[in-house]
Amino acid sequence: LEFKNFGAATSERTRKQAARKLARLTTTCSMVVVTGMTATTATKTTITNAPSSSSQWRTSCTVAPHPEMVRWSGHLNFKSILLSLMFLDRLLYATATAVVSGGSSTTIGGSIMFKNVCLGGTFDGIHAGHKLLFNEATRVCKERLVVGVTDGQMIRNKILWELIMPVEERIKGVRDYLHTINPNLTYQIVPITDLYGPTITDKELECIVVSEETVKGANKINEARKDKSWPELAVHVVDLIQDTNKTNEEAMKRLREKKVSSSLLRVQKLGTIMNPPIPNNNIPKHPYLIGLTGGIASGKTAIGRYLETKGFGYINYDLLGHKTYQDTNSPVYKEIVDYFGEGILNETTKQIDRASLGKIVFSDKEKLEKLNSIVWPAIFKLADEQIEELKVKHDVIILENALLVESEQVKRVHQVWTAIVPPEEAIKRQMESRGLSREDAEKRVNSQTDNATRVKTSNAVFCTLWEPEFTHKQVDKCVQELKVKYL
């Protein structure tokens, strides 16, 4: 990126255009060298808030989203820039090392190259760490690069795996990026559901590109190939964090942070309206109704109560459900007792014992559906009455309904917000808060719709796995976006 006649007198419009262009380049390039301007000049002209320094090379520029890829070269001529690029190439990629244990390789310009190379990963959003892996893979590959994109059970242990993009989208992102850096190779990009993927079905593969963290996986792959009497793969290790050179310390620190950026990107999605709502013309625009849902022990009630403190109306469908059969003379009470028997009644008060009823319905899906069919109509009637009361004082009303999706009440709200926690956390919370055995807690969790299905129907997602303050930040962020864009 070359700047000409750029200084403090440059117009604000030109400065903004330059800043946008620099930010855009950092999303599509592995490295951006800025010539005609030093980091100091950039700071003074508001291109970036990089700290001023007389140092010619800056690695602490904070241009989003990939500042570690920006290098300030000042007023260098063309020859100097080429030499600088060669130096930077060594600085950023020299830590990649090839451990050759097999394969038919060729040495070109000092680099070992292979006809058929492979690598694998989740690739949920192409970030700086992915770019380094892909750059190395294309550099050691002469003809065909095979990329395995993990799916199925392989992604289920990752943080917030429910927010991981569909495998088709991730494959497209990988293909698009690879074609931008080297359109001359043949790319075979496939979903994989185990560690091995094409490595044990494609004998022609010669080299696998991995990070230091995934070397063990490469060793297991070679053991499997050895069992088939196939040549072992050369293991090309890309070490992203080994360089501790003081002049590049900040860049290395950021690369360390980038190692978990896929997970961080998913965390950053929490509390954002990821899927803009489709206008619902079947319900009035006022009040604005938000369906708040989630599984057992997902923290949805805590979120609902917090939203109530923000000035929103709040209706808890679970509490309404209790009301429908609390009165021993109500039609709902009589129908439930007729179906489930008097064994669910408290011997003293003759009221329905929720624990006894829960033990029955969470062990039998058919009986759970029967209970829902009895109480839902009465709950919806009570909810409509409360909405009429609350809309006088509130423009937005939160409808907390654990069965929002199952009861097809999605069509009665403007947006769906969902709270999630991992199943194991939900089981743990049930055991601690209700004194349930692990078996009973598992039955309750397994009887409900899974998180991934809920997320697909949601406009916004929250996760209450961490401290309450972080949950509140997620909610505050979502409320702000709601007010700015939809109210």
Q: Residue ranges per domain, the chain?
A: 106-238, 269-486
Rounded CA gap, 38 and 57, in Å? Answer: 8
Q: What is the pLDDT of residue 91?
A: 46
> Which CATH code, of 3.30.1490.190, 3.80.30.20, 3.40.50.2000, 3.40.50.300, is assigned to 269-486?
3.40.50.300
- 482/33 Cα distance (integer angstroms): 39
Residue 57 is classified by DSSP as S
For the domain bounded by 106-238, which CATH number is listed? 3.40.50.620
Indicate whether 63 pLDDT > 60: no
Average pLDDT over residues 417-427: 95
What is the band of 95 on the pLDDT scale with cuts at 50, 70, 90? Answer: very low
For residue range 339-349, list pLDDT tens digits in order: 999 898 988 88
More confident residue, 251 or 89: 89
User: Largest Cα–Cα distance of the chain, in whole Å?
Assistant: 93
Quick check: do 106-238 and 269-486 share a fold? yes
pLDDT digits (tens, 9 = 90+) for 77-89: 555 655 555 555 5
pLDDT in tens, 301-311: 999 999 999 99
CA distances from 472 to 50, 212, 223, 291 (A): 31, 37, 48, 18
Tens digit of pLDDT for each residue in 383-415?
999 999 999 999 999 999 998 988 888 999 999
Question: From the CB of residue 162, how many other CB atoms can be counted at a distance below 10 Å?
Answer: 21
| Spatial distance between the Cα atoms of 320 and 376, rounded to a whole number of angstroms | 10
pLDDT value at 38 more than 70? no
Q: What is the mean pLDDT of residues 229-251?
A: 67
Q: How far apart are CA 147 and CA 173, in angstroms?
A: 12
